[in-house]
Amino acid sequence: MNMQQVTDPTSKQVCEDIMDVLNKLKTSMVAIADDLGITRIQLFAVYSINKTGQLPMGQFADVLHCDPSNVTGIVDRLVSQGLVIRQECATDRRSRLLVLTPKGQDLVDVLERALPQRMGCDSLTAAEREALHGLLQKIASM
């Protein structure tokens, strides 16, 4: 009987596994964005605005991890595609908030339906999803 030796993964191996998952996420996001006819950055931007409900323009560069000089162009394209609108901030008229349009929300809905399948999350058992969810939350909060 040939039994495979089970070893405890090192912290380095776990980090490599996380990097592999991040690469799979990027690949999945690119494929979904291609299917939707937008860029990965635009899809991530729409998803990020959805997650917060509205997003101040000033924080958008931080969320996208890009240079602030790129934000206006990205937002202009999202607005021209009818995915986002700019609204005046009620507490600071100098500030603009980014808010999804119904069309932008539809894109997020497509992403949220497609991503679990592309990432393989829908193939996990309930117990596996619960364990993974707990571990990812623990890592994210450290």
| Domains recognised in the chain with CATH numbers | 14-140 (1.10.10.10)
pLDDT one digit per residue (tens) for the chain, 142 residues:
444 555 788 999 999 999 999 999 999 999 999 999 999 999 999 999 999 888 888 788 898 888 888 888 999 999 999 999 999 877 777 778 899 999 999 999 999 999 999 999 999 999 999 999 999 999 999 9
In angstroms, the CA 5 to CA 11 distance is: 18
Cβ contacts of 38 within 8 Å, gap of 6 or more: 46, 81, 83, 107
- What six digits make up the tokens of 112? 């949220």
pTM over 0.85: no
User: Parallel, antiparallel, or unpaired for β 55-56 and 84-88?
Assistant: unpaired
What does DSSP assign to residue 3?
P
Rounded to the nearest integer, the mean pLDDT of the chain is 90
What pLDDT does residue 5 have?
55
